[in-house]
Amino acid sequence: MTTPCSSYSANANKMAAFLQWRKFVFFDKDTVKDPVDSGKNFVLPSGISACDSGRGHIVLGDMDGKIWLMTRSLQLTYFQAYKLRVTHLYQLKQHSILISVGQDEQGINPLVKVWNLDKRDSGNPLCTRIFPAIPGNKPTEVSCLSVHENLNFMAIGFTDGSVVLTKGDITRDRHSKTLTLHEGSSPVTGLAFRQVAKVTHLFVATLERVHCYTLSIKEYPKVELDTHGCALRCSSLADPSQDSQFIVAGDECVYLYQPDERGPCFAFDGHKLLAHWHRGYLFLLIRDAKSPNKTGFGNRESSPSDKQLLTIYDLDNKFIAYSASFDDVIDVVAEWGSFYILTRDGKMFVLQEKDTQTKLEMLFKKNLFVMAINLAKSQHLDSDGLSEIFRQYGDHLYLKGDHDGAIQQYIRTIGKLEPSYVIRKFLDAQRIHNLTAYLQALHRQSLANADHTTLLLNCYTKLKDSSKLEEFIKSSDSEVHFDVEIAIKVLRQAGYHSHAVFLAEKHMHHEWYLKIQLEDLKNYQEGLRYIGRLPFDQAESTMKHYGKTLMLHVPEDTTLLLKGLCTNYHPSGDGPEKDSPERSRVNKANSEEFIPIFANNPRELKAFLEHMIEVDPCSPQGVYDTLLELRLQDWAHEQDPQRKRVLQGEAVSLLRSDNTVFDKALVLCQMHNFKEGVLYLYEKGKLYQQIMHYHMQNEEYGKIVEACKRYGDQEGCLWEQALGYFARKEEDCKAYISEVLHHIDQNNLMPPLLVVQTLAHNSTATLSVIKDYLINKLQRESQQIEDDERKIRQYREETAHLRSEIQELKTSAKIFQKTKCNMCNSPLELPSVHFLCSHSFHQHCFESYAESEAECPTCTPENRKVMDMLRAQDQKRDLHDHFNRQLRSSNDGFSVVADYFGRGVFNKLTLVTDLPGNKTAGSLEGNLQKDLLIHTKRNC
């Protein structure tokens, strides 16, 4: 236990502090046996005066000047280093360099020799340097020696209080220089170099003082650390685990020093003979209290009868690792993984440290778990081993009833021990606080699964600890260590809706947020606001799911949101997605998909659809069809005439927009008996007979006649249907029948006999109704007969005249007496061209206008018309004969008729000929005799 130094004045306090250090046997002691004869003990050389270890061997110096090297197999070799004796040895740990101090002649003249153990000189290690160890010119004894591992510093302490520092390459004379670093009146008892980073310090201990020099600064500044010192060999330098502190062992305390101040001190009472630091342990050799006390610098060596107590301290973990009595210990060295104790009777004992697991088991048996944990950490035990200690410690505390302490140990096993092992122990309701603490730690380390989250939240809810619950769920994003979705489910199930909503909103679990707001809290307005903040895809899917519910409770705001969603949607400005790329992209939902949401809200649906066709004329077809149905419904249920006319105009305008489906629109208009729409669609679809039938069904006589006038040119049978309709009516329809007959008569649409037969079915249609029709018909027929007879006579006369001309041409010569050209009307000049048709031309005029040398340019157009008529008659005659033959020979006469009908054989042929004004009928008929024309070409 670390205590203030001032407390060591009282013996009782010192003893109490010492007794708090637990004693263990963490080392196994054995006497080293002879390697040749294992039945005998190994015997050290006699007269050992100094020893050290390192680089795989133990170095011994004796009173005869020999230096012995002991290998691991206990083989001893020596070389004569001095003529008289060896007093000090220092073996470097990182180099095969050995520094010795001894005497070659009588008197006070110590020599320092530097040996390179890797090089040989006549079979012995090479001595690279020899120099006398004298502070100034005063002969004095060397008391202690220390060498820096970098081979650049060597310090030698003397009994007169001087310290000589060699700086530079200590293995060579010419590369180093020597100076007196310290002077004093008290013998130097300890030296140690401390290297941390680039700063080098030298600790100097005397019988009365402790100093520290900074060697990395040119002036070598000195700091006095304490006003009391220690005996010879009672100081050492700790390793980095103790921050490389300088250890000074006084008779009452052990002090630790930093380069600039004194550190902790330990109350270890007893007359110290030796202090060493090896591998994390402090070795103190104390004279047995029963032995006679000898004081003074020169009397530290014990008599052969001295009993000495060697104690090994673990300063980190505050326990005694080993303690045993020995007779006359020369030194304690560490090599080959063990500690060796050399005694003056020539024996050598080995202390082998027990393995970590054995030491831990010893602590477990005594239930010293805290100490076991500290020991495991100092031994750098892996995490699995530490976790097992924490588990055993937790089990121990749990059995003792210390559940709070146990849970703290179990928390330290997280990541190694299965959580269910701990959870099962604390599922009792009385231990719910401990269970909560464990589950919290499990979540903090992000090792909790969904079941752990559920259990922790249930603990919070059962404890009704709202503050802890809020602290758990309101941790920052970087500290979320649980399954958020599971937490939301548990909170919702437990009725902590506000907490669940917070968690869902914070971690953007949109579905859960809306489910709680709309299904549990019935907060429709807030739910709608939240949807407006979502990205387009999520807002669209959410509205499809919750649209009907929202429309039922907040119809106006829901309609407004849908309008935006189906035009150009952007999340609201305060939403979590306000800076996302969504805002730079045009997002537009299909408005037709949201129509079912308005099932019970026709007013909002109409407003929505009208908005859509206004902002987007290319809206889906279903939008226009649905809007038409709504407008027709409003029109059908409206009682105010003025308002009804307005609604009628709206419906018709929608029909005229050509955005509705014809069939659907027609069915809707018929369902609602919307006359204007039905008639418009019939006309649009060219269903003229349907228009007639519609007027007939409604007995709108005037509309029937008007429809015939409008559409009779496109479909001539309308007049016949109208006549048949009026003929079947028993009412007095004489005026309509007369008007229909007038149009039939003018356009010759029906044979008179069919007209009479049609009207015969009407009992009210008397002869006076068709009197005018029949008279006009008969008059035209009579006129036609007269015209035909006149043409017959005319054709006969022309034929006779032509025949006489032909006869004349055949029997008599033709005299050409024309004096003018029929083309240019200029007097004829030779050469000229004459035709039998009495037309004459200049030759150059004939060549310019004639298409053929054999045809008269003047008569050619008329002759061609006649020839075309003749060819048409011949083709018809041949086609008629062929048709009759096929019809008689075919088994399916109807297919033959259909084939010829499709080829236009039965179409009415009308030839229109334009007769020139200066041409007579006789001249036209004369051209029919094309084959009798004789063309004569004469060159005069």
Terminus-to-terminus CA distance in the chain, angstroms?
162
What number is the average pLDDT over the span 807-815? 77
What number is the average pLDDT over the span 783-809? 86
Position 15 scores a pLDDT of 40
What are the tens digits of pLDDT across the range 565-583? 788 777 775 554 444 555 5
Evaluate whether 878 touches 886 at the Cβ level (below 8 Å): no
What are the tens digits of pLDDT across the range 26-79? 898 999 998 888 788 898 999 999 999 998 999 999 999 999 999 999 899 999
What number is the average pLDDT over the span 161-180? 87
How much of the chain exceeds pLDDT 90, in percent? 18
Rg (Cα) of the chain, in Å, rounded? Answer: 66
What number is the average pLDDT over the span 656-677? 71
Evaluate whether 65 touches 82 at the Cβ level (below 8 Å): yes
Strongest mean pLDDT among 222-226, 805-809, 868-872: 222-226
Residue 294: band (very low, low, confident or very high) from pLDDT cuts 50, 70, 90: very low
In angstroms, rounded to a whole number, what is the distance separating the alpha carbons of residues 421 and 114?
64
What number is the average pLDDT over the span 523-546? 79
What number is the average pLDDT over the span 361-383? 74
CATH code of the domain containing 828: 3.30.40
Residue 938: band (very low, low, confident or very high) from pLDDT cuts 50, 70, 90: very low
Q: Is residue 291 over pLDDT 60?
A: no
Evaluate whether 824 touches 842 at the Cβ level (below 8 Å): yes
- Does residue 378 or residue 113 have the better pLDDT? 113
CA distances to 518, 554, 564, 571, 590 from 549, in Å: 8, 9, 18, 21, 20
Total of domains in the chain: 1
Q: Is residue 747 over pLDDT 50?
A: yes
Residue 410: band (very low, low, confident or very high) from pLDDT cuts 50, 70, 90: confident
Q: Is residue 911 over pLDDT 50?
A: no
Evaluate whether 161 touches 182 at the Cβ level (below 8 Å): yes
Lowest mean per-residue pLDDT among 163-177, 270-284, 714-728: 714-728
Lowest mean per-residue pLDDT among 281-285, 372-376, 582-586, 922-926: 922-926
In angstroms, rounded to a whole number, what is the distance separating the alpha carbons of residues 389 and 383?
10
Query: Residue 657 has what DSSP assignment?
Result: T
How much of the chain exceeds pLDDT 70, in percent? 78
830 occurs within a structural domain: yes
Position 921 scores a pLDDT of 37
Measuring CA to CA, which residue among 271, 319, 315, 325 is closest to residue 295?
271
Position 683 scores a pLDDT of 67
Position 774 scores a pLDDT of 75
Lowest mean per-residue pLDDT among 154-158, 377-381, 765-769, 931-935: 931-935
| Average pLDDT taken over every residue of the chain | 77
Neighbour count for residue 39 (Cβ, 10 Å): 6
809 occurs within a structural domain: no
Q: Is residue 246 over pLDDT 90?
A: yes
Q: How many CA atoms lie within 13 A of 78 on its CB side?
A: 16
Residue 648: band (very low, low, confident or very high) from pLDDT cuts 50, 70, 90: confident
484 occurs within a structural domain: no
Position 232 scores a pLDDT of 93
In sign, the C-alpha dihedral spanning 200, 205, 206, 212 is positive
- Which residues are bridge partners to 145 per DSSP? 156
Lowest mean per-residue pLDDT among 217-231, 308-322, 900-914: 900-914
Q: Is residue 813 over pLDDT 80?
A: no
Position 617 scores a pLDDT of 73
839 occurs within a structural domain: yes
Domain extent for 866: 822-874
Position 812 scores a pLDDT of 77
Residue 16: band (very low, low, confident or very high) from pLDDT cuts 50, 70, 90: very low
* Residue 276 backbone phi and psi in degrees, to 5: -135, 155
Burial of 871 (0-12, 13-18, 19+ CB in 10 A): exposed
One-letter amino acid for residue 252 of the chain? E
843 occurs within a structural domain: yes
What are the tens digits of pLDDT across the range 103-153? 988 888 899 999 999 998 888 899 999 988 888 777 889 999 999 999 999
Q: Is residue 377 over pLDDT 80?
A: no
* Residue 140 backbone phi and psi in degrees, to 5: -155, 160
In angstroms, rounded to a whole number, what is the distance separating the alpha carbons of residues 479 and 844?
114
8 occurs within a structural domain: no
CA distances to 184, 573, 582 from 569, in Å: 92, 12, 9
Sheet holding 22-23, edge to edge: 22-23, 319-327, 307-314, 281-287, 272-278
Position 877 scores a pLDDT of 60
Position 912 scores a pLDDT of 41
In angstroms, rounded to a whole number, what is the distance separating the alpha carbons of residues 708 and 711?
5
61 occurs within a structural domain: no
Measuring CA to CA, which residue among 504, 532, 506 is closest to residue 519?
504
Residue in the structure block whose two tokens are 């004279």: 287
What are the tens digits of pLDDT across the range 649-666? 776 776 767 667 666 777
CA distances to 44, 112, 154, 237 from 187, in Å: 30, 19, 18, 19
855 occurs within a structural domain: yes
Evaluate whether 171 touches 129 at the Cβ level (below 8 Å): yes
Alpha helix locations (H) across 587-730?
602-615, 621-637, 641-656, 662-671, 675-684, 688-697, 701-711, 717-728
What are the tens digits of pLDDT across the range 479-501? 555 667 777 777 777 667 667 67
Q: Is residue 557 over pLDDT 50?
A: yes
